[in-house]
Structure 1
Amino acid sequence: MVSKKAVATGGAVTVVVVVVVLSVLLTPRTAKFKATFMKRCEAYGETSHICEQTLATFEQAYVGKDHSDFSEGNYDQLFAETNLKHPCGKTMFWSKREDLIHKFTGKGDCFIALKDTFLGHVLDGLKWCGKEGNKALSSLSASGKKKKSQYEELHVKPKINPVTSFWNKASAKFAQHACGHVTAMLDGERKEPYDPKSFFGGVEVPNLQPSKVTHLTVVLVGKESGCTCESLGSLRKDLHQSIGCTCKAVARSHVEQCIEENTPCGACW
């Protein structure tokens, strides 16, 4: 937007042309989103240069693209530049237990959940979208009050938006990175703890690499009696036959006690 204003200077009239960048005026949410992205990135331990570069690559994935039918491949470059670096033997999957999982993994370095990774930490709870053909303007938002993460709320869908697409891609990469003995925390208070349409069942289980992963331990929180992988719906069928599977029932109060006492790895179940 361009505006003109006449300014009197010593009898002469000078025309001052003020150029206002329209996208800056119209997208305060974009500025808030970028500030949140940078703050979380730097808090994770990355330099401002790396954070700016990652943000630029992230924006290239969706700005100017149709948000209603969005390809996961748009994030290929982002994930190529931000490879997972955590020990793959500490991988912790989960479904419907966000109230416990991040308190549990956040107490030490025993387990790593997707949210504990670089991109998971930076983008958890945020929403973003682009507009087809519009390279200069993007609509982004960072909710003031944190709700459940998109990783927990969203399910696999035939048509996916930029947010769902990102978590599908991140979940697949997270599972492909896993190796050795991996763990999954599920909600034993649900009638069907294993949901084949969740991110864990629909994305992560199919992407576990049988050449790398030897065993999966399912921790069923809130169930008092024993359990087996065969009792968890289609889990044993969905899991590659060469990957061993064990199910352990653990009371919620016991997990909470482990969090409070910072129980060493493996001792909680």
Structure 2
Amino acid sequence: MLGWQLTILCVLYVFGVGEGLRTTPNIKQVFIGRCMYYYNVVDPTLRRSVNCATLWDKFSSAFRHRSPCDVTTDSYASFVRATSSREKRTGVVFWEDTYPFVLTYTDGGRRGLTIADTQLGYMADRLHWCGQVDRPGINFDDCPAECRDAAVEAYWGAVSIQFAREASGPVRVVLNASECPVFKPNSPFATYELPNILAPRIPHLHVYLLHEPGRESTEWCGGPSLSTLERLVTSRGVTYSCTDNPSDILHLLCVESPTAPQCQLTTRSLDDTWW
């Protein structure tokens, strides 16, 4: 009953796409440039002999000369196989509705590894694309409204599945306490990553629940949607924990909002000396 009440109380957000979305200009050059930078600078230990032009061909063949409505996660299978890591990844951080913060928090893989820190995420991050049947095979004018994001969403679904399958050891997921509900059963995390979070490869999932200063929280650890998440996680043999604004999360939030009430530190009396 509580879950039903939560649904009624939640504000319904419709996540639409902007008018006039089109393929990122010079996407081939951007993609190949990122590929070369990643394999030569970000993580040169992966594959020194990688051919970025070949990877572009595998990537673009998933949607080039195809209607955007016909692109699925399976369309990217060849590209995913060619770029996937052969080693299990530790320190993995999943996220939902916290993308900019999580990138700052993980600091390029130094405090955790997000999908954007991997080669699969790095090369396509914030790019947009769609194909067309006619030449040149890529639509640089205006992706059709009925399937405007289909090729992009299918890509991120495919690489999210692979990212979760490569994760090993305890993992974290950073969720936004201002969302309603906090855990959405139809979200990308729930659809693609959660089904691949399995024991014994992943023994534990820890929810970091982010409460942003100045924004009202709709749920805390133990709330209805997070209880649903806990049941789904433990049913896979994975243990579960949740922390509201862990100290490292809070300290980083307070850098952006130092005057927020939760960011005020207790100070000593002016008569005290600290040296």
Instruction: State TM-score, norm by structure 1.
Output: 0.70
- The CA distance in 2 between the partners of 1:181 and 1:258, in whole Å, is 27
Aligned pairs for 1:48-87 within 5 A: 50-84=51-85
Q: Counterpart of 2:167?
A: 178
Q: Counterpart of 1:198?
A: 187
Q: Counterpart of 1:254?
A: 251
Q: Counterpart of 1:93?
A: 94
- The CA distance in 2 between the partners of 1:258 and 1:216, in whole Å, is 27
Considering fraction of residues, name the structure with more strand: 1
- The CA distance in 2 between the partners of 1:107 and 1:77, in whole Å, is 27
Identity within the alignment, %: 24
Q: Match of 1:138, SS?
A: coil
Aligned amino acid, residue 80 of structure 1: R
Kindly indicate whether residue 154 of structure 2 is the aligned counterpart of residue 165 of structure 1: yes
Compute the displacement of 1:135 (Å). 5.8
Q: Counterpart of 1:139?
A: 139
Q: Counterpart of 2:38?
A: 44
Kindly indicate whether residue 177 of structure 2 is the aligned counterpart of residue 188 of structure 1: yes
Q: Counterpart of 2:114?
A: 113
Aligned amino acid, residue 238 of structure 2: I
* Cα RMSD, aligned residues only: 3.2
Instruction: State TM-score, norm by structure 2.
Output: 0.68
Kindly indicate whether residue 230 of structure 2 is the aligned counterpart of residue 236 of structure 1: yes
Aligned amino acid, residue 39 of structure 1: G
- Comparing both chains, which one has the higher relative contact order based on Cα–Cα distances under 8 Å and sequence gaps of 6 or more? 2
Compute the displacement of 1:54 (Å). 0.7
Who wins on radius of gyration, i.e. which is larger?
A: 1
Q: Counterpart of 1:222?
A: 211
Q: Match of 2:203, SS?
A: strand
- Any stretches of 5+ residues in structure 1 without a counterpart? 1-28, 142-157, 260-269
Aligned amino acid, residue 83 of structure 1: S
- The verdict on how the C-alpha distance between 1:229 and 1:202 changes in structure 2, with shifts beyond 3 A counting, is farther
Q: How many residues align?
A: 215
The Cα offsets for residues 127-175 of structure 1, whole Å up to 9 and x where unpaired, read as 111123x36431258xxxxxxxxxxxxxxxx997211100111111111
- Any stretches of 5+ residues in structure 2 without a counterpart? 1-22, 41-47, 142-146, 257-275
The Cα offsets for residues 90-124 of structure 1, whole Å up to 9 and x where unpaired, read as 11000111131001112552311011111211101
- The verdict on how the C-alpha distance between 1:243 and 1:49 changes in structure 2, with shifts beyond 3 A counting, is closer
The Cα offsets for residues 188-212 of structure 1, whole Å up to 9 and x where unpaired, read as 2234211111111221111213231
